[in-house]
Amino acid sequence: MLIIIGVLLFELIVLIHEGGHFVSAKLSGVKVNEFALGMGPKLFSFTKGETKYSLRLLPIGGFCSMEGEDEDSDDPRAFGNKAVWKRIIIVAAGAVMNIVLGLVMTLILVLQQPFYASTTIAAFDDNSVTSNSIQIGDRLEEIDGYAIWNARDITFALGTCQSFSPDIKVNRNGQSIDLGNVPLATYDNNGTKQIVRDFYVERVDKNFFSVCGETIGQTVSTVRMVWASLIGLVTGKFGFNDMSGPVGVASAVTTVASAGLESSFLDAFNNILNVMMIITINLGIFNLLPIPALDGGRLFFLLIELIRRKPIPQKYEGAIHAAGFALLMVFMLAVTFNDIMRIVTGSGFG
């Protein structure tokens, strides 16, 4: 049941993404030839109006095929014959809808919580290490250079610290104070030293305003987390082994589902929903990067067209996107193989 739920949630992410392209294309008067959920051979299809709707065998993606999207077309309703601003909206709509879906998923999770965590220190464990520097009532502002806006930021910042004594900034009595390098509590995890939180934060009571604030805040924090992770990959803060493809994601979903089942089916579902929330926001942001074959790559060419007032010749743009797609497939195969190696041997080759 949990596997089915995971697959359905993933297909929901794809449906929302491609649905964003589909609806914005229809509203812009673009002819949509086919709207497909899944990839590979068709399981079944039907045609309504001018559009074929199909369900395909492999639940690993989908597409919205528009007239004149990748080739020249004389049809006045072709994608390439529409105003640049309309094409920009159509291309960006998929990623935007992924982030909106992440917001909805976050709301579902937030509504189930009896109260919320703040960023203000409320108490410490006995023999706490951080209590030597941080005081009760301090509001965390920054950890290891990462701005702290809510409790999710604290978890991410501590989980990605490059030091066991990171630079920490707090707000104390209305004044921002840089505490310098603050030693954190650690524990030994099978020979690996890891940070453990030895402090507690104040709770925020649940009401209409705190639900709205927490939903928006957690969504924004997830966007920031994904962006910071991408920057970390480029700068070398994170390595190849920190990445996961479909196999790694499936393994992660299985792990969090199993952990949740130890308490209840609802906890397992919420764990899966939380992973899918991160995935849909990740997909939205990644798709907006100016990489050929991605939506962001198409947006890049559209912005060039908007500036120079004429499009890049289709044959050149098409060749660039084809090359980008080939490179992405090679990269995805490498990530997938690394996922499999990590599952089988316990470590990848990155």
Catalytic site residue from 18, 69, 214, 317: 18
Distant-in-sequence, close-in-space partners of 117: CB < 8 Å, separation ≥ 6: 150, 151, 201, 202, 203, 204
- Residues shown for the chain: 350
Q: What are the backbone dihedrals phi and psi of residue 169, each rounded to the nearest 5 degrees, phi first?
A: -115, 140
DSSP assignment of 233-283 = HHHTSS-GGG---HHHHHHHHHHHHHHHHTT-HHHHHHHHHHHHHHHHHHH
Eight-state DSSP code of residue 77: T
- Residue type, position 199, single letter: F
| Joined tokens for residue 295 | 């939506």
Distance CA 86, CA 320 (A): 22
Distance of CA 293 to the CA centre of its chain: 19
- What Å distances lie between residue 198 and 116, 154, 286, 302, CA to CA? 18, 13, 34, 50
Does residue 201 contact residue 151 with C-beta atoms inside 8 Å?
A: yes
Establish whether 69 is a catalytic residue.
no
Does residue 145 contact residue 167 with C-beta atoms inside 8 Å?
A: yes
| Joined tokens for residue 161 | 């610290």
Give counts: helices (H), strands (E), the chain. Answer: 8, 10
Question: Which residues are identified as catalytic?
Answer: 18
